[in-house]
Amino acid sequence: MNHQEHYDDVMCGIGALGEHIPGTIKSFFALHHAALADGALPKSTKELLALAIAISVRCGGCITCHVKDALAAGATAEQIYETIGVAILMGGGPSAVYGNEARKAVEAFTAVPV
């Protein structure tokens, strides 16, 4: 999977959905930005939390997006790998499979060979 293309597809798809339900999508993005803004927890930590939840609930698009956004917010690859470990603890075997997808996304977005 090309994670940059997947990221672009997810974001464009949500944007296209917004043409049909603009109020819902606009509200979703407002919530997204408010929930992930720096506060008592920095944005990078919030992105790591979102990533752990994405792995646990097995959402491939969310994994790709939150890996990219965690890196952009200053999280390190090592912090993402530890987050994957916590998600595996909480989600078991299926989270190991989706955690590997997160690893692939880290490598894709940091230009480290898979």
**Sequence letter at residue 105:** A
Please give the pLDDT value at position 111: 82
pTM for this model (two decimals):
0.90
- pLDDT exceeds cutoff 90 at 31: yes
Closest CA to 69 of 42, 87, 98: 42
The closest alpha carbon to 102, from 61, 46, 72, 74, belongs to 61
Direct distance between the N- and C-terminal alpha carbons of the chain, in angstroms, rounded to an integer: 11
pLDDT in tens, 42-98: 999 999 999 999 999 999 999 999 999 999 999 999 999 999 999 999 999 999 999
